[in-house]
Structure 1
Amino acid sequence: MLKIASRPLTVHDYREFPEGPPYCQLIEGDVIMSPSPDLFHQDILLNLARIIGNYLEKNPVGKVAIAPSDVHLTDLNVYQPDLYFVSNARKSILSAQGAEGAPDLVVEILSSKTARFDKGIKREIYSRTGVKVLWIIDPTLREIQVYHLTESADVPAATLGEEKEIESALLPGLRISLKEIFRQ
């Protein structure tokens, strides 16, 4: 990840950037550029987006989006999580530019270049700005850490291995096998 700003930038500055690539995020006023993720990361993202997308076609309880789609959390923080979900009750935060506020569910898939941000400052900001649930997917360990951010941003509510299933009250009735998520 390359840091390219000499002063803290704001959402206004960020919106003046040309559309990517290269893709970047605004993290505490710093522009952080990200290289393209590896193919396994993309397999995981596509598997999860397909599963949730198919579920939402039959159960239209909200909207799912995948990167690159901006999530404007504060004046100094604009992230592009790998996947996010916004419930119908909160769909007013959605705009043509992405989400203008905290999604209900955020999914971050770790890579060597982004893990320290995803597990550190981004997790803290997600918690402070109202994200309800955060899934941090570790492709190397083939596990998912589930954070209920309204309860604790520091300790995962669960760590699920590849033999388990994941579910969320935000997506009622959907149970996803981690084997299906990690399928290549």
Structure 2
Amino acid sequence: MIINSTELQNNFGKYLMLTAQEDIIITRNGTEIAKLTAIKEKPLEDNAQPDQVHENAPEYNYYGKKATYEEFLKLQRESDERYEYIDGEIYLLASPRTAHQIAITELLVIFHTFFQGSKCTPMVAPYDIELRRTPENINIVQPDIMVICDLEENLNEEDYYKGVPSLVVEVLSKSTRRKDLIKKLDLYMSCGVNEYWIVNPDNKEVTVYLFEDNNICNSTTFKNDEAAQSFIFEGLSAEISKIFRV
């Protein structure tokens, strides 16, 4: 991933975590000046214990282990639970909390009003979106909200959407934070999503990312009495005080 030095300064913690997935190249005035690289963990010796114990997060649980896409599809068919499949791992989606749902509802109303009469359609989870890093690397996610502008031309015979949303929204919880800020940000950026809204009920902020050429082209964080603004849809905005009214 390539980012400029200003983006790194503004979001250092996020990119520090992203180094676990790939190297981060930093540029200044268009010139590469540095690289962030993760230090590989040493393997544990026999009978040794890891330094840290990580609790399973109840709201966005890791289902168990790496799985093939076929294994994921089998689980999805046989279970009433909701799952996502990201880079070969299965994640169980549990019921969200009240602030999470209020933020989604408020944004969906704003989006529905804005896009009424246009070719773009706001959709809400649960709704499977298939994203491919490569023809073999298939991912299935359920964004909280997505704006789809090519719905009719990308519906298959079974009435499933097979395109890429123009805009995606994820509302953070304490247990989904790492997935939404790292794994899903990288997935959306790499697979053709144009804009990504990260909604944080804890600090009542919305960060909007603009993606171009598989990189972060621009980003802005909105809070307090501001209104979150879209980069790609002129006039689309959402008042922070309305999104976080509890």
TM-score w.r.t. structure 1 length? 0.85
What is the aligned counterpart of 2:131 among 73, 80, 88? 73
Q: Give the equivalent residue in structure 2 for 1:92.
A: 153
Residue 152 of structure 1, CA deviation: 7.2
**Residue 178 of structure 1 pairs with residue 209 of structure 2:** no
Tell me the secondary structure at the aligned position of residue 118 of structure 1: helix
Counterpart CA distance in 1 for 2:220 and 2:175 is 24
What is the aligned counterpart of 1:134 among 177, 196, 201? 196
* Total equivalences in the alignment: 180
Structure 2 gaps, min length 5: 1-59
- Larger relative contact order, structure 1 or 2 (CA cutoff 8 Å, min sep 6): 1
| Residue deviations 1:122-165 (CA, integer Å, cap 9, x gap) | 11011110110000010011001111121675686101103111
Compared CA separation, residues 6 and 141, structure 1 to 2 (3 A): closer
Residue of 97, 116, 141 corresponding to 2:178: 116
Q: Are the equivalent residues in 2 in contact too, given 1:160–1:166 (CA < 8 A)?
A: yes
Equivalent of residue 106 in structure 1, options 158, 168, 171: 168
Q: List per-residue Cα deviations over 1:83-139 (Å, max 9, x = no partner).
A: 000124x65234533x42321100000011211100011110111101100000100
Alignment partners' CA distance in 1, 2:178 and 2:147: 23
Structure 1 residues 171 and 20 mapped into 2: Cα distance closer, same or farther (>3 Å)? Answer: farther
CA RMSD after TM alignment: 2.4
Q: Note if contact 1:49-1:83 (Cα within 8 Å) is conserved in structure 2.
A: yes
Of the candidates 47, 64, 67, which is equivalent to residue 8 of structure 1? Answer: 67
TM-score, normalised to structure 2, is 0.65
2:93 to 34, 50, 53: 34
State how far apart, in whole Å, the 2-side matches of 1:171 and 1:155 are: 16
